[in-house]
Chain A
Amino acid sequence: MDLLLQILVNGILQGGLYAIMALGLALVWGVLNIVNLAHGAFIMLGAYISWYLFTYVGIDPFLGLPITACVMFAVGYGIQRGLLNLIARAPMFNTLLITFGLEVVLTYMAQLIFSADFRTINPVYAGSSFTLGHLTIPAVRLAAFGVAMVLTLAMWYFLLRSRLGRAIRATAQNLVAARLYGVEPRHLYAVTFGLGLALAGAAGGLYGTVSQINPYIGATLTAKSFAIAIIGGLDNPLGVIVGGLFLGLIEALTALYIGPTFSDVASFGVLVLVLIVRPSGLLGRTA
């Protein structure tokens, strides 16, 4: 029983990390209709920025998160303005090609700059934990979980309640009408992509505190984020939390009861099931 409880806690904490990883992807996909295949590579970039700040500037990885997010926002704003806006009206295949290309470029740039060595963000408290009865709760994972929840809620509030968020959603829903109300779509698209990357950057910083970083982690993270966004649904940030937690729990329980080698099979099996039964995601609007 203790073991099962511990596994559930592990799954939930991992799920929180998953949620923040998928949030940026879901935002960009849901609003801009861009399936960003470079999303994992941007998470990797965020992880390296946090690692750099921690190792060479001495900034704590959690305190460095806003810096990482700001840098990534600027990167995202620039990429959307300079590159992706050019093909805003083109078929989706073009955005897939461009973001795939970005993924390749980013990965190899990272190897050129940082080499293929693996890095860890290892502050003194990285390995500390506290116990709750028989449960062991890793402090960093809990903190990462907390940050993920706060950011998800902030994103939810921003999109659904704030003026800019409403403008973003309005543009996504009806470009012509939004323009009539004075919305400048090019700027809004860039802000949205920037926000997506800022979230990816924050996710990368958190990822680096619990896992090793190397230039090649991106592809797996994109695939995971993709699955979570689909499972949770694209039109509501809360869905992404549900998707993340769901996936974290499925993986942890599969590892316990069936075997760790089946974790990926289980998570992508769930993805297929969700696509069949509820194509708009667990919390998505039913069509």
Chain B
Amino acid sequence: MISKSLHAIPFALGTLAMALSLSTVQAAEPTIVLGASVQLTGSSANTGRYYRDAYQLAIDKINEKGGVKVDGKSYKLALKIYDNQSDVNLSVRQYTQLVSQDKIHLLLGPFASNFALADSAVSEKYQVPMVQGGGASDQIFARNFKYIFGTLAPASNYFGSTIAMLKQVKPVPASVALLYADDSFDVSVANGTRPQLKKAGLNIVMDERYSTNASDFNSLLSQIKSKKVDAVLVAGHETEILNFVRQAKSLNVAPKMYSFTVGVPSEDFRKALGKDADYAFGMTAWLPGPTLKDKWFGDAEQFAAAYKAKYGYEPDYHAASGASDVEALVVALEKANSLDPKKVRDAIAASNFDSLYGKIAFGKNGQIDLDQTVVQVQDGALKPVFDGKAFINQAKYPMPSWSGR
């Protein structure tokens, strides 16, 4: 008797679950569900939140302005998001669940290249398009996958505009150090930067790879000091950059300039370092201004204001990239006039529209190409200084010694 009633439990639970899921389906309006797995906890959560927040803000705004019209029918957008806990394997499982169990319509991306690299295999296998604004590594787009699209500028060219600037500053740096973390994105950056430095005639005296999440940069900094390196280019993560700058100060290492792939454009970086953030160069493919127009927010400035008002912190290019992913999907849905993922995929590939982030038009490999603007922290504020060809504002170069600030 007991064993019989025990056997009934799974059935009862199953029926209950079915009843619950039926009731939610009945209650909802016609909805297009966008699925994503993002780092909400774990070591990448600090940047992951940009994507969750940007996705949600863009979806809310688009719904508020009437949603999406497909084949004469009006749909609302919904976000189904999982926390991958900064674990790549979990992220792949969650994307598999999104497409196979949750039956989402289209995919948004995770943050970071190594995640996008792994997760794009899921979108490719199930032939569900994924537009992602968190992975820039050239590796993601080198595989001729048809269902992955990227809205970050190619990693290999992150330092392109910085190198162009180095040829115009006076004095031109006599020696350059290239340091990079050993992950997919930063290795791509280094592989793209190395030939550009050589082509520009800049002398690479250090070319060093360090472990991701390294916290001790004393050895590298001592070498920079001992070799009297003029310009230091670092491709790494925000936590590493923070340690790098703090240790540079404590070892009194002040090259003529240093530049970092990440960190500098984000508000947290400036907050955590205070005055020590000054003079740091970085790059961004996006600055909130009135020239970047879109259909829903008006322009990038209004997007930034709405973002700050809702979440209490400033968006950086990660957030703008994430919001443009939602816009790219919506534009493609309306253009394809169908929910069929294959038709939407073709419409995404043919995208050509202005977003709050910039012009969205994907190359043949699925990646967008945007110019990087060189930025610098000056007196605690982020200033654009070089647009790839000419100076926009005066660059503070060379950097003074730590005692001379």
Once the chains bind, are A118 and B268 in contact (CB under 8 Å)? yes
Asked if A220 CB lies within 8 Å of chain B CBs, one says: yes
> Chain B residues in contact with chain A, CB under 8 A?
41-43, 45-46, 48-49, 86, 182, 208-211, 213-216, 218-220, 222-223, 225-226, 238-239, 242-243, 246-247, 249-252, 268, 272-274, 276, 402
**Contact: A10 with B268, CB < 8 Å?**
no
Contact for A138 among B239, B250, B273, CB less than 8 A: B250
Q: Which of B48, B250, B252 has the largest number of chain A CB atoms within 10 A?
A: B250
Contact between B251 and A116, CB atoms less than 8 A apart: no
Determine if A220 and B213 form an interchain contact, defined as CB atoms under 8 angstroms apart.
Answer: yes
A94 within 8 A of B: no
Residue pair B45, A116 in contact (C-beta under 8 Å):
yes
CB distance from A5 to the nearest CB of B (A): 10
B226 touches A118 (CB 8 A): no
Task: Taking A122-B274, A129-B252, A138-B251 as given, write out 14 further A-B residue pairs in contact, using a Cβ cutoff of 8 Å, ordered by the A residue number.
Answer: A3-B222, A6-B226, A10-B251, A111-B41, A111-B45, A118-B272, A120-B242, A122-B246, A122-B276, A126-B246, A127-B276, A136-B251, A139-B250, A260-B219
Residues of A within 8 A of B (CB): 2-3, 6-7, 10, 13-14, 108, 111, 116-120, 122, 126-129, 131, 136, 138-141, 210-212, 214, 216-217, 220, 251-252, 255-256, 259-261, 263-264
Q: Which chain A residue shows the least CB distance to B40?
A: A116
CA distance A211 to B216 in the complex (A): 8
Say yes or no: B211 contacts A264, CB within 8 Å. yes
Cα distance A139–B43 in the bound complex, in angstroms = 29
Closest to A2 in B: B226
Q: Are B211 and A260 in contact (CB under 8 A)?
A: yes
Looking at the complex, which one of B41, B220, B247, B252 makes contact with A260 (CB distance below 8 Å)?
Answer: B220
A261 in contact with B49 given A3-B222, A119-B272, A136-B251 (CB within 8 Å): no
| 18 A-B pairs (CB sep. < 8 Å) | A116-B46, A116-B48, A118-B239, A122-B274, A127-B246, A127-B249, A127-B276, A129-B250, A129-B251, A139-B250, A211-B215, A211-B243, A214-B46, A255-B220, A256-B219, A261-B211, A263-B211, A264-B211
Quick check: B49 and A3 within 8 Å, CB to CB? no
- B238 to chain A: closest residue by CB: A118
- Contact of B219 with A136 in the complex, beta carbons under 8 Å: no
Q: Are A10 and B250 in contact (CB under 8 A)?
A: no
Chain B residues with CB below 8 A from A216, complex form: 42-43, 45, 86
Pick the residue among A122, A126, A214 that contacts B43 (CB under 8 A).
A214
Least distance between B273 CB and chain A CB atoms (Å): 7
| Nearest-CB residue, chain A, relative to B242 | A212
Contact A14:B218 (CB < 8 A) given known A118-B242, A264-B211: yes
A212 touches B246 (CB 8 A): yes
How many angstroms between the C-alpha atoms of A273 and B292 in the bound complex?
Answer: 59
A residues in contact with B218, CB < 8 Å? 7, 10, 13-14, 252
A283 and B190 alpha carbons, distance in the complex (Å): 43
User: By the criterion CB–CB under 8 Å, are A120 and B246 in contact?
Assistant: yes
Q: Establish whether residues B41 and A116, one from each chain, have CB atoms under 8 Å apart when the complex forms.
A: yes
